[in-house]
Amino acid sequence: MATTLQVTNGTGNESVAVYLTLGTQTGNATIGDFKKFTSIGGSYLAGYITLGSYESYTFSEGIYMNGNLCFGCEPQCPGPGIPQFPSGTTAFEFNLNVPGGNNEGIDISCVNGVNSFITVDVSGGGTFITNGSPAPLPIYNKGAGHSDNYGLYGVYPAGCTSCTGGVHNAPCSNVPNQQPQKDPICLLSRDGNDGGGTIYVTFTGYYNGPASAK
């Protein structure tokens, strides 16, 4: 069954730039597959769209998509490139409508830090599993404090490329490690043959900014 992805600006007082970065897997979607998205620097794998207050965008139903969504800036490390987001960039990561019926997967990654709050819910389709049990939904992230994202299903804490080990070999060496998860609850996955329904990704606000919008 085809899985649909929808992204929403859930704030009532500001527009938000939604950045889409896609992987290089064979058959994966490209920016040209999605109307209204503007390519970044002519790239076929990176683009953005601006959503007004409470505005939503629905991606093409059933298309193979592997990549991430970020809000306010492209996925980056904290530093001079994004001074309005001193704690890095939060990403929603996805692997949907995978060829051959392989597993679908979703998570919220704070590996590169935290600049925004994201909530993800699912309607229809098969059940997402994490650590051998049905995942509690919706999933969401919190801030950049040491234990802020500890115990939250579907969330990789800052600097934790390994869910439970906190292995810090991510691109952002200047992101302080948050507390790793006790159990392997970071990734939600389901059998691709049990896909379908809609994945709802909602931006609910910025963390530490953005100063440039004030």
pLDDT digits (tens, 9 = 90+) for 108-166: 999 999 999 999 999 999 999 999 999 999 999 999 999 999 999 999 999 999 999 87
> CA 71 to CA 20: how far, in whole Å?
9
Exposure on the CB side of residue 197, measured as CA atoms within 13 A: 16
Total count of residues recorded for the chain: 214
Report the predicted TM-score, pTM, of the whole model to 2 decimal places: 0.95
Instruction: Output the pLDDT for position 110.
Output: 96
Q: Cα–Cα distances in Å, from 158 out to 49, 62, 90, 170, 186?
A: 26, 31, 9, 10, 12
User: Which residues of the chain register pLDDT less than 70?
Assistant: 209-214
> For the chain, how big is the Rg over CA atoms in Å?
16
